[in-house]
């Protein structure tokens, strides 16, 4: 629960200079890819919502795995943390109430991410 509280309270931020240097790509290109992912993430979350409504665990696992792969490649730590809470739950007990709660958390983080990236030149 600590991880959950921390994610909700922390402002979204990306150190594009440091991450792009680490990835050996230009910062503007890194940000272009990250902006693209912000849109993709919204689509994935909509798919997750639909899968949760019918408790399609396999689809939820697949989508969460996709989010995990890209968020980790792009070093989007808080997206990764929010995704991981739901991912662990869906692979374990898959309690629908907890899954819904974690989905809200992931959506909240995605909204913060979009807001941040839209303000970034």
Partner 1 sequence: MHKILIVDDNFENRQLLAEILREVAECDFAASGKEAIDAYNLSLQRGDQYSLILLDIELPEINGLEILEKIRESEKNAGIALGDGIPIIIVTAYEKRFLEAYEKGCDDYILKPIDANVLLTKLASVLEKSDQD
Binding piece for partner 1, criterion CB under 8 A, among 67-75, 81-89, 93-101, 104-112: 67-75
- Indicate the SS3 state at residue 36: helix
36 binds partner 1 (CB under 8 A): yes
Binding piece for partner 1, criterion CB under 8 A, among 10-18, 24-32, 89-97, 107-115: 24-32
Q: Give the dihedral sign, CA 33/38/39/42.
A: positive
Binding piece for partner 1, criterion CB under 8 A, among 4-12, 36-44, 81-89, 113-121: 36-44
Residue 114 sits at the vertex; the CA angle it makes with 109 and 119, to the nearest 5 degrees, is 130
Say how many C-beta atoms besides its own lie within 10 A of residue 7's C-beta. 21
Nearest to 75 by CA among 26, 28, 121, 22: 22
68 binds partner 1 (CB under 8 A): yes
Q: Which residues bind partner 1 (CB under 8 A)?
A: 22-26, 29, 33-34, 36-37, 40, 65-66, 68-70, 72-75
């Amino acid at each position: 629960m600590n991880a959950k509280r921390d994610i909700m309270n922390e402002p979204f931020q990306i150190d594009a200079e440091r991450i792009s240097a680490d990835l050996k790509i230009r910062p503007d290109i890194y940000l272009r890819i990250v902006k693209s992912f912000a849109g993709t993430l919204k689509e994935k979350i909509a798919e997750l919502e639909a899968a949760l409504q019918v408790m399609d665990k396999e689809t939820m696992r697949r989508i969460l795995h996709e989010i995990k792969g890209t968020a980790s490649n792009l070093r989007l730590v808080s997206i990764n943390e929010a995704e991981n809470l739901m991912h662990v739950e869906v692979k374990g007990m898959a309690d629908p109430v907890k899954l819904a709660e974690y989905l809200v958390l992931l959506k909240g983080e995605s909204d913060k991410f979009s807001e941040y990236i839209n303000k970034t030149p």
